Amino acid sequence: MDGTSEAKVSPKISLEKLEAAKAELSASEAGLTSKEVLHRLKQYGPNSVEKKKKHKYPEVVQVLVKQLVPQVSARRDGAIVLVSVEDIVPGDVIRVCHSREVPADGILLPPPEAATEEETVSECLQVDMSMLTGESKPRRIDPGAEVYSSSHVIEGEGWVLVTATGAKTFLGAAAVLVEELAKPGQIATSQQCVEAVAGQAKVLVRDPTNDALKRVQVVVIEKTGSLTQNRLQVAGIWCGGSGAEVIVDAAAPQVEEKSLLRQLVAASTSCCSAQKSKRDVIDSALVAWTESLKNSGADEGMPDVQQIFKGVQRYLAFTPQTKYSMAVCSSTAYHLDGGEGGAGNVVVFARGVVPGLLEHCSAIAIGKGDGGKIEQSLTEERKAEMTEAMDALVARGIRYLGVAVKVVGAEAGDLLMKREDLTMADAGDGWCFLGLVMLYDPPREGVTEAANKLAEMGIKLVIASGDARALTVEFATRVLGWKVEGGADKNNNETKESKEEKDQQGKGAVEIQGTDFGSDQFDWTILENRQGAVVSQCYPEHKYNIVKSLQRSGFVVAVGATGVNDVPAARAADASFALSEANPSVRQRVTYICMNPDNLGAIVETIAVVKQDTSPVVEKSSKGGKKEKCAIA
């Protein structure tokens, strides 16, 4: 897209600020040239807040510090390239997207009339500006409106014309003022310890004045994304009336009817976004699974991912209202059995929550039986088999999705292509249920060993998870080897089973519901003689109360933080870690910054090193209020 491309703009949206900024900065929506960038870097400086006093970090620390600098897509020299956020200059055009921090002040550009996958943008952004304004609700940012450095994009993606960087940003000016007001303190972590932590644990000590880690008794950490890889993987399938284990990197599953497996694969993948940038974790897992099955060579007739997407004529993403995604496809792209996939017919696939799919299903795919048909009536007996299979998955804490198919004539298919809000009901009744796809989030490497080492150090581990009880407990049992028992009722009274477990074995873990943390009054003496606890259905507002209630019970607490919602808990904790995939704004509010993807292992290693630091506490001067407070800014 060049600077002359027409854009879609609502009549209500004013672009006066944008046009004024373009004129002032001699900029356009096409971005800058490399020569212009070099000139502006000299003029404006790097996109960072310069410190009054600069540290000469040891090489081992410098290596990790460099990894902290994120990159962003920018329009440079007529192309889209990745650049360091420190090299952004006023006049640059950069891409902002959901779950990312805005790296500079700027103005949101209007979306183009036509865009490639890389250029695809939203009509507006939803931005969390709580760090700047204290607002609890996201703010809508329309094209032509200003967006500020360190605000967090909650929803949407788009391109921004940069208007200010570094100390000239809204937040940068405040940061300079805060530095001038810095007060003296005590250095509780020696330079030798800082270097040892960086070298051994790949963790940066951001605040050497904090000595809480030497006395820490409890570590609180999120399960999903912190102890797991935060990516789903296909664990197995259920089709044809039976289940089959199928790890993504393994050979194709042994399903008697290959044609049935192919349909399940085609249906699952068709209901994914063809645009890689638009795929969620489920889409990514299913596409990877399809690719692995094709590459295994076990079934030469297995459809190729690109072949599947070429057959998709219309894709509808999952919504909370329908609880499924859909795809309207050309029947010629799939070799359907049963005679219904003839030329001109249209195949409609749906993938989502099973009860919603079954409302429209009257048949189930079980493989070729009498008469050579792939479908049989969805009888009560068949439903009972499915229910048994799903109950077994729930008991193991495994997630699953259902997949269904419906073949319609060309005329009906044409109507489905034109209908604005398409649902399964629009395709009529008589859908066929193809089967289940099982998914799980693999644990991070070294989690089990790290949890055991923590227990050897006498430190409790509290695992917080927004997942249901079955998923959370299954993880603690399977991955950590914990014997998890029911913990406390809503009145904080220890259950009989929990007491018996503690009395008989003196080990294991206790399970608690996140809903028990409506306040910070919970009594954590229940951790006595246990390795830790699992808190299921735990949401961000509960984490803060977990930390405060642990402290009220006399514990020194360290917290692992990833997203902006974790900041209140991290600020309340005695010590805090920004984990390997933490939002940049989280890194500014913690004691330690993990650069090691083995999150729990990094925390444990840091604790071990810090506890060995016997250096005396040293007074830290701040002559003129200009000396840095932190070892790593």
Model confidence pLDDT, tens digit, residues 190-240: 788 888 888 888 898 888 888 899 999 999 999 988 998 878 888 888 877
The candidate with the shortest Cα–Cα distance to 158, out of 115, 108, 117, 113, is 108
pLDDT at 546 over 50: yes
Q: Is residue 633 part of a domain?
A: no
| 3-state DSSP assignment of residue 97 | strand
Q: What string of DSSP letters covers 374-402?
A: SEEE--HHHHHHHHHHHHHHHHTT-EEEE
Measured CA to CA, the distance from residue 468 to residue 513 in angstroms comes to 9
Both tokens of 349, joined, read 């696939």
Instruction: Mark whether 86 and 170 lie in a shared domain.
Output: yes
Q: Are strands 431-440 and 399-408 parallel, antiparallel or unpaired?
A: antiparallel
Neighbouring-strand partners of residue 312? 329
> What's the whole-model pTM score?
0.68
Both tokens of 411, joined, read 């005329």
Q: Is residue 632 part of a domain?
A: no
456: enclosing H helix or E strand: helix 447-456
- The CATH number assigned to the domain holding 360 equals 3.40.1110.10
Residue pair 313/328 in contact (Cβ under 8 Å)? The answer is yes
Torsion, Cα of 342, 346, 352, 358 (10° steps): -70
pLDDT at 168: 87
Assign residue 212 a region: left if phi > 0, alpha if psi is -120 to 50, beta otherwise? Answer: alpha
Q: Domain boundary at 148, 180, 212, which?
A: 180
Instruction: Mark whether 613 and 495 lie in a shared domain.
Output: yes
Number of H helices, E strands in the chain: 19, 29
Residue 395 CB burial class (10 angstroms; 0-12, 13-18, ≥19): exposed
Assign residue 78 a region: left if phi > 0, alpha if psi is -120 to 50, beta otherwise? Answer: left
Provide the residue count of the chain.
633
Q: Please name the residue that has the structure tokens 């070298």.
A: 199
The candidate with the shortest Cα–Cα distance to 460, out of 155, 165, 221, is 221
Measured CA to CA, the distance from residue 238 to residue 389 in angstroms comes to 8
Residue pair 316/422 in contact (Cβ under 8 Å)? The answer is yes
Instruction: Mark whether 148 and 218 lie in a shared domain.
Output: no
Q: Is residue 176 part of a domain?
A: yes
Higher per-residue pLDDT: 4 or 15: 15
Instruction: Mark whether 266 and 205 lie in a shared domain.
Output: no
Instruction: Mark whether 286 and 428 lie in a shared domain.
Output: yes
Instruction: Mark whether 433 and 448 lie in a shared domain.
Output: no
Question: 3-state SS of the chain: helix, strand, coil percent to 5?
Answer: 35, 25, 40
Residue pair 439/400 in contact (Cβ under 8 Å)? The answer is yes
Q: Dmax of the chain from CA atoms?
A: 90
Q: For residue 281, give Cα distances in angstroms to 60, 234, 263, 326, 494.
A: 34, 11, 21, 17, 38
Radius of gyration from C-alpha coordinates of the chain: 28
Instruction: Mark whether 451 and 495 lie in a shared domain.
Output: yes
Measured CA to CA, the distance from residue 281 to residue 401 in angstroms comes to 13
Instruction: Please give the residue range of the domain that contains residue 457.
Output: 189-229+443-617
Summarize the confidence of residues 248-258 as an average pLDDT.
Answer: 50
Summarize the confidence of residues 47-68 as an average pLDDT.
Answer: 65
Measured CA to CA, the distance from residue 219 to residue 543 in angstroms comes to 12
pLDDT at 626: 38
Measured CA to CA, the distance from residue 530 to residue 459 in angstroms comes to 10
pLDDT at 490 over 50: no
Instruction: Mark whether 302 and 285 lie in a shared domain.
Output: yes
| 3-state helix/strand/coil string of 172-196 | HHHHHHHHHCCCCEEECCCHHHHHH
- The CATH number assigned to the domain holding 573 equals 3.40.50.1000
pLDDT tier at 336 (50, 70, 90 boundaries)?
very low
DSSP state of 304: P
Instruction: Mark whether 416 and 447 lie in a shared domain.
Output: no
Neighbouring-strand partners of residue 73? 82
Both tokens of 34, joined, read 């490399």
Query: pLDDT above 70 covers what percent of the chain?
Result: 75
Q: Domain boundary at 425, 440, 455, which?
A: 440
Q: Are strands 509-513 and 484-486 parallel, antiparallel or unpaired?
A: parallel
Instruction: Mark whether 434 and 448 lie in a shared domain.
Output: no
pLDDT at 498 over 80: no
Higher per-residue pLDDT: 455 or 495: 455
Neighbouring-strand partners of residue 220? 462, 559
Q: Domain boundary at 440, 470, 504, which?
A: 440
Instruction: Mark whether 103 and 206 lie in a shared domain.
Output: no
**Per-residue pLDDT reduced to its tens digit, 106-138:** 999 998 765 555 556 777 888 887 666 655 567
Neighbouring-strand partners of residue 97? 157
Q: Please name the residue that has the structure tokens 């032509």.
A: 144
Q: What string of DSSP letters covers 128-162?
A: E-HHHH--SS-EEE-TT-EE-TT-EEEE-EEEEEE
pLDDT at 175 over 70: no
**Per-residue pLDDT reduced to its tens digit, 533-542:** 999 888 777 8
Q: Is residue 631 part of a domain?
A: no
Q: Is residue 584 part of a domain?
A: yes
Q: Is residue 172 part of a domain?
A: yes
pLDDT tier at 548 (50, 70, 90 boundaries)?
very high
Higher per-residue pLDDT: 445 or 626: 445
- The CATH number assigned to the domain holding 163 equals 2.70.150.10
Q: Is residue 296 part of a domain?
A: yes
Q: What string of DSSP letters covers 317-333?
A: ---TTT-EEEEEEEGGG
Neighbouring-strand partners of residue 176? none
Neighbouring-strand partners of residue 205? 592
Residue pair 378/364 in contact (Cβ under 8 Å)? The answer is yes
Instruction: Mark whether 251 and 215 lie in a shared domain.
Output: no
Measured CA to CA, the distance from residue 254 to residue 247 in angstroms comes to 12
Both tokens of 157, joined, read 């993606």
Q: Is residue 623 part of a domain?
A: no
Instruction: Tell me the one-letter amino acid at 313.
Output: Q
Tally of domains in the chain: 3
Residue pair 207/197 in contact (Cβ under 8 Å)? The answer is no
100-109, 418-427, 583-592: range with lowest mean pLDDT: 583-592
Positive/negative CA dihedral, 81, 85, 87, 91? positive
**How many other CB atoms sit within 10 Å of the CB of residue 231?**
12
Give the distance from CA 351 to its chain's centroid.
21
Where is mean pLDDT largest: 12-21, 386-395, 398-407, 504-513? 398-407
